[in-house]
Structures are given as structure tokens and as C-alpha cells.
A = this chain, B = another copy of it.
């Protein structure tokens, strides 16, 4: 198989389909989503059969338990995919919205219209349900999609692709509006990220290594979702009760998510009072503490090294550092944070104001758990990821992040003088 020729063909078809999807009505795109949901429901046996082949191959190839778990399509996961499609169908259509329309002194009227980006390439790893999630958000926002899932999920993804094709066809949209790459050859990724003629943006979902590699080699824009090294800073003016509740929640509500706190900072003025309350709370949850020298002078903790300030543990480990006031906290965060989500606990108005202004992260919070950094919690209705980029879309990315705007000008024969 000539991978370059195959991917160019996929790209060309996606570009052609994008025009048709962009012109389609809200009702047609919603119909495609709902018809896909029905197709998935009707294809449960085929999906499970395909998935079993992937699981068997995975076991033969020595995939670990966590990987096999992510790969599995249980009946509940199929339910969730179906429910997700119906939810996306019920969201408002972002496309066509015209805003800021004003008359200019010249007499022309100028505003902005929200439009699809065009063709979106999604590169992801083992979870086959991402195929439906990503495709549904891109389709709802009027885009064509090229999906490149993990090679270990190829059978499951192709089975899902057939349901998507059926849903698109029933709504009268071209099947090439959503294409799942048919080859597991890695060269396909290299082609996908270097076809600016056919692909408008790449959304990679997966480990840090994958995303860094794609960002480095891509010749099209990438909406990145890198790591989440999130901080909670307990200020000396914090309410201890709120501090305790938020710190424990931010670390322990879920360990594996990117918005989980990885480093806790405490003002030196309050560390003596708060740390002895926090230590047993974390001990009860089985969280290992790794503290700086000042922390270890107050509570029992393992010794934190420089690597701990940069670590995204994604597990029951927490780095703890005592800093000198707000300046110390901001300096630490702006040095070590991955600019994902950082929160201050304080009752002091001026410190809260400074924190949200001076911390340069995609979400800055006051007296709230970092775990709230999420498209659903923010009211976006859906989420394709959490961008750590500054360009285009930053923080949780919903349908709007998959769109652009164009200027619309209405005149009456106006000429420029």
C-alpha cells in the first residue's frame, strides 16, 4: 500500500466533503448524529465481535491490563457512545452565528459569522469510544474529520466507522465527511500532519510523547493538550475549612485526570496551622506526600526533589512546598506549572485579584477545586480536550474551539474613497 497516495486520497475526499458539511443545515447534521446512534445500537453484536478480535490481538501482543481495559467496548461503553451522540445532537449549533454587527462611519455594516474550520485530523490512542466522541463534535461544528486511532483498536474503530458512514448516508451527507484511516502503518500519521492542503488543524489526544512528536513534526496547526501539572496555593488569608476541602478534593477526587492537583503550595505564615490538618486527611486516602525541607519540618513526608515540582503523577502522590507568600507562590507556579489549571485559596480580595491576573494558566481559580476545569463543568456542553496552547483555543475546548469566524460586510453599493 502506498501510504502517501492513500492519505492524499483521504485528504482530498475530506476536503470535498467539508464543503458539503459546511453547507448542510443544522437539522441534517443532527439527523446524521441520531442515525449514527441508532446504527451503533443496531450493531452491538458486530461491535463486540470486532472488539474481541482487537482484545485477542492485544493480549497476544502483550498489552498490559490498563491498555486492554481502555480498549474494551463493554455494553455500558456502547451505551455511553450512543448517549453522547444524542447529547451532541441536542446542543445548539455554533455555525452561522453572526455577532458584533455594527454600522461603520463609511456606511457599511460589519460583523462576524462563525464558520467551520474545514478538515480536522484527530490522532488518538487505544480508546475506541474516542472515534465517536471526536467525530460527533467535529460533525456538529460543520467540519469533516480524518480519524487516526491506535493500531490496537483498528477492528473496533472500523466497525464504528461503518456505523458513522451509515448515519451520514441516512442524512444525505457524504460518507467521507468522517473517515477512519484504514491502515495501522505509522507513516499515515506523518502524512496526516503534513498535508496543509487537505487538513486545517490536528487535534492529538494521548500521551505527552505522542503530542510533543506531533507538534514538532506538524506542518498544520495543532490544538495541543499537553500535561496538567496543576497547583493549589493556600494563602495565609485562607479559610482553613475551604482550604482543606479543596486541597483534598483537587488531589483525590480522581487521580488520573489532567486537572488533578499535583503540587500543593502553602504560605509560610499558615503552613504550621494547615499542614497538620492536611497530613492525616491525605494519609487516610493513601496519598504519599513529598515535601520540601520546610514542609518536612512540620509533618512527616518523603523528600521532594526538583523532579517532583515538574511531575504529573496521575496517581496518589502529592508534592508539597512551603513558599513565601503570594509572590513565592506565583513564582513557583509560573516556573513549574504546565499552565493548565491553578487555584488560590484565600479570603483576601487583593491577593485573589493578583493571582488571577498574574498566573498565566488556561484556568485560574479562587476557592475552587482544580477538578472543575472541564468542558462540561464550564457549560460548554461537550469537550474535545483541554488545550494548553495560547493560540486559537485555550483551556477546555468545546464546539466553538472547532470553529473560526469570518467577517461579513453588508453594503449598498458602497465604495472606498
C-alpha gap A415/B371 in the complex (Å) = 8
C-alpha gap A42/B200 in the complex (Å) = 48
Q: Which residues of B contact A415 (CB under 8 A)?
A: 245-246, 248-250, 253, 368-369, 371
Q: Which residues of B contact A371 (CB under 8 A)?
A: 415-416
Knowing that A200-B391, A367-B410 are A-B contacts, what are 16 other residue pairs whose CB atoms are under 8 Å apart, sorted by A's residue number? Answer: A104-B378, A200-B390, A242-B413, A246-B413, A250-B415, A345-B413, A360-B406, A364-B408, A365-B410, A368-B413, A368-B414, A372-B416, A373-B407, A391-B392, A392-B392, A394-B405
C-alpha gap A404/B394 in the complex (Å) = 8
Q: Which residues of B contact A357 (CB under 8 A)?
A: 23, 96
Q: A201-B391, A407-B362 are in contact. Are A239 and B413 (CB under 8 A)?
A: yes
Interface size class of chain A, counting residues whose CB lies under 8 Å from the partner chain = 35 or more
Which residue in chain B gives the minimum CB-CB distance to A358? B23
Does chain B have a CB within 8 A of A192?
Answer: no
- A368 with B19: CB separation less than 8 A: no
For residue A63, give the distance in angstroms from its CB to the closest CB of chain B: 31
For residue A255, give the distance in angstroms from its CB to the closest CB of chain B: 13
Q: A353-366, CB under 8 A of B: which get 1 and which 0?
A: 00011101111111
Stretch in A53-61, A112-120, A153-161, A307-315 touching the partner? A112-120
This protein's copies in its complex: 2
Does chain B have a CB within 8 A of A396?
Answer: yes
A binding-site residues for B, Cβ under 8 Å: 19, 22-23, 96, 102, 104, 106, 108, 110, 113, 115, 117-118, 200-201, 215-216, 219, 221, 239, 241-242, 245-246, 248-250, 253, 334, 343, 345, 356-358, 360-369, 371-373, 377-379, 389-392, 394-396, 404-417
C-alpha gap A414/B374 in the complex (Å) = 14
Q: Which residues of B contact A392 (CB under 8 A)?
A: 391-392
- A108 with B406: CB separation less than 8 A: no
Q: A108-B372, A253-B416, A391-B200 are in contact. Are A411 and B377 (CB under 8 A)?
A: no
- A367 with B412: CB separation less than 8 A: yes
Q: Which residues of B contact A245 (CB under 8 A)?
A: 413, 415
Q: A365-B409, A407-B373, A409-B368 are in contact. Are A360 and B414 (CB under 8 A)?
A: no
Q: Which residues of B contact A215 (CB under 8 A)?
A: 219
